[in-house]
A and B are shown apart, each in its own frame.
Chain A
């Protein structure tokens, strides 16, 4: 009985904080007020304040987590909606995604191994360019720490939208395809929100890049990791 009540309490706490931070973001759409960043921070502060261990929180949290998988499955729908775009630019899109994936993997592996970070931390950083929901699954699969992976995913998202506009200017990336692919492949959903500011087409390209690169990474990263580790 106590367990059921605790579970319900944590579900409600999470929901209330989520609704609050979503409304806050609607009112002040600043990148730093990103709802997942605020919700996570406030939940952690709540747990630390009342000295509640993570495992206790997860009694309720696991029910919310249960819907993570279905929301990944739901990404099939926007992918299906953009099928025309994918077919039209198939070669470019696939080349961009593979380039991004290889650059991501090589840069993370070389920096992290060079600086002597543990395998666990390195494996959590490899999925940093994929959208959080899928990054969690991939981190689980390859032996990384899922929550650490999400923190890296957020860092990749924020650095992408803050630096993206400068990079586009300095390196003369002007086209909808170039910007959309850059933001979607490197900075996933957060990048896609920025891409939408450049226009609807850039936004669609970015979201296609985000979903396709996540799906391809989910296939290739685990295989690649089994080979080298």
Chain B
């Protein structure tokens, strides 16, 4: 029971940081989503040790473990856009697959080549 209470307090704290990020975004008319500003804010608070890890640890872990649930309502909205996938829209899936392959290969290659160069150094990763 006490644990549940702690988790709820932590989630509320993270919620406040998020709202604060959204306020900053609106006041300064930034083109960045408010939640991202909140993310950076929390990251800075943690890294500068202004707040200890244990203040948010359990709340953050819970939010992350059920994150999938939180984007369901936004995704369900696709029911109003099925027509986009008709006709020419059926090509969309191929385009997305092709672009994903390109992103994957380019990212992977940069890491792979760079990593090979550093072979022999103590800190490289091996397969």
Contact = CB atoms under 8 A, between A and B. Distances in A.
A92 B31 contact: no
A104 B111 contact: no
Given A65-B74, A163-B97, A73 B21 contact: yes
Q: Is the interface of A mostly helix, strand, loop or mixed?
A: helix
B112 A133 contact: no
B115 interface: yes
A72 B36 contact: yes
B18 A72 contact: yes
A223 B74 contact: no
A133 B39 contact: no
- The winner among A76, A163, A219 for most chain B CB atoms within 10 A is A76
A159 B92 CA distance: 13
Interface string B78-121: 11110010001101110111111111111111111011100000
A78 B61 CA distance: 9
B39 A73 contact: yes
> Looking at chain B, what size class is its interface with the partner chain?
35 or more
> Looking at chain A, what size class is its interface with the partner chain?
35 or more
B115 A177 contact: yes
A23 interface: no
Given A72-B36, A103-B103, A177-B115, A148 B127 contact: no
Contacts of A33: none
A189 B71 CA distance: 13
B115 A92 contact: yes
B104 A167 contact: yes
B116 to A, nearest CB: 8
B117 to A, nearest CB: 10
Contacts of A150: 71, 74-75, 78
Interface of B: 11, 14-15, 17-19, 21-22, 31-36, 38-43, 46-47, 53, 56-57, 59-61, 63-64, 66-81, 84, 88-89, 91-93, 95-112, 114-116, 123, 125-127
